[in-house]
């Protein structure tokens, strides 16, 4: 979810669901050890519970990054061992780390030694043509021995050569049963399943076999689907915000961001681009997206554009 789930996106998602855990885009250890820590780690207090996802393979650097994450107030540190992009592979982390379970275990231990919050691992079920269950079982077992108790399992292989990151999210077949088997073999671990899941009914079916479900692309492209999660999965019967109420809640936030960072070049589109899917599936949704993406309107830097787009959509649908 690099370039997608930034702090503005997460603030928007939090207006839709109060309890669902939110995850940052992957932040590399180099960006924190040598770069602008504030830019990469600042987030809105309303985002809690929120996890920091790290990319790296050096235990010492990951320890530094994890400590910074805890200092900034994140609720969890997640190590990405699932990203298959060549750029990530060149940094010797992401999915290629599945071939080095002991190194991942060392990384987990180094982070756990310096933080009090949970350290979790996100991974695939295999790499390239290695699809035997024993491969991912041994990977999880080795890392669990280092103290990791939560594993987020993207139930596809990662093809490290020959497929793009987009193709890696679609072409390798989903094998949910592998994640279910991990839960049966490691009942004391928290196993969270990921990959190709879209509806609340699908989530409920998976929860009969595992402890949790993670959504990525569907949550981004159809975010209002999360509006029912609080009641259905967290037992919170508080009133659900309408789509228009979500937009209204975002307006003061957007204005504050423009006021604070406008001189540094923050554009309205930096926030509104994450909101284009809010009307997904409704009559007039295309008009909503067109108005929200109109260059002239965006250049005016007026957050009331959100309601203008919603009202225009409603008139079209009437």
Q: Which residues are catalytic?
A: 83
In the block, tokens 């994140």 appear at 74
d(CA 16, CA 31) in angstroms, rounded, equals 30
Two structure tokens written together for 212: 């949790």
Name residues whose C-beta falls within 8 Å of residue 85's C-beta, 6 or more positions apart in sequence: 94, 164, 165
Helices of type H across 113-264: 133-144, 165-168, 176-185, 200-206, 217-221, 229-234, 243-261
Any idea what DSSP says for residue 278? T
Name residues whose C-beta falls within 8 Å of residue 235's C-beta, 6 or more positions apart in sequence: none
Residue among 128, 123, 132, 138 nearest 158 (CA):
128
Two structure tokens written together for 245: 């109420």
d(CA 122, CA 108) in angstroms, rounded, equals 12
């Amino acid at each position: 979810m690099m370039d997608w789930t930034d702090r503005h996106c997460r603030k928007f998602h939090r207006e839709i669901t109060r309890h669902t855990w939110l995850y940052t885009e992957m932040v590399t250890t180099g960006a924190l050890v040598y770069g602008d820590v504030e830019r990469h780690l600042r987030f809105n207090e309303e985002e809690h519970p929120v996890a920091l996802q790290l990319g790296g393979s050096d235990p010492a650097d990951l320890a530094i990054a994890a400590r910074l994450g805890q200092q900034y107030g994140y609720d969890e540190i997640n190590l990405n061992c699932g990203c298959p992009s060549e750029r990530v592979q060149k940094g010797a982390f992401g999915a290629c780390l599945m071939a080095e379970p002991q190194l991942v275990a060392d990384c987990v231990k180094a982070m756990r030694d310096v933080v009090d919050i949970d350290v979790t691992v996100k991974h695939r079920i295999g790499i390239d043509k290695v699809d035997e269950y024993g491969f991912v079982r041994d990977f999880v077992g080795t890392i669990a021995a280092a103290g990791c108790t939560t594993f987020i399992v993207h139930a596809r292989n990662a093809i490290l050569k020959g497929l793009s990151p987009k193709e890696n999210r679609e072409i390798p077949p989903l094998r949910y049963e592998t994640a279910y088997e991990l839960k049966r073999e490691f009942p004391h671990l928290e196993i969270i399943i990921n990959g190709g899941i879209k509806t609340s009914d699908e989530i409920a079916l998976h929860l009969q076999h595992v402890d949790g479900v993670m959504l990525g692309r569907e949550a981004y492209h159809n975010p209002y689907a999360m509006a029912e999660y609080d009641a259905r999965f967290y037992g919170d019967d508080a009133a659900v915000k309408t789509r228009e109420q979500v937009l209204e809640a975002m307006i003061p936030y957007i204005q504050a961001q423009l006021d604070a960072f406008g001189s540094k070049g923050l554009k309205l589109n930096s926030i509104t681009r994450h909101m284009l899917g809010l009307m997904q599936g409704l009559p007039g949704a295309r008009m909503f997206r067109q108005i929200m993406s109109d260059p002239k309107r965006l250049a005016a830097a007026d957050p009331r554009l959100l309601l203008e787009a919603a009202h225009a959509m409603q008139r079209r649908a009437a």
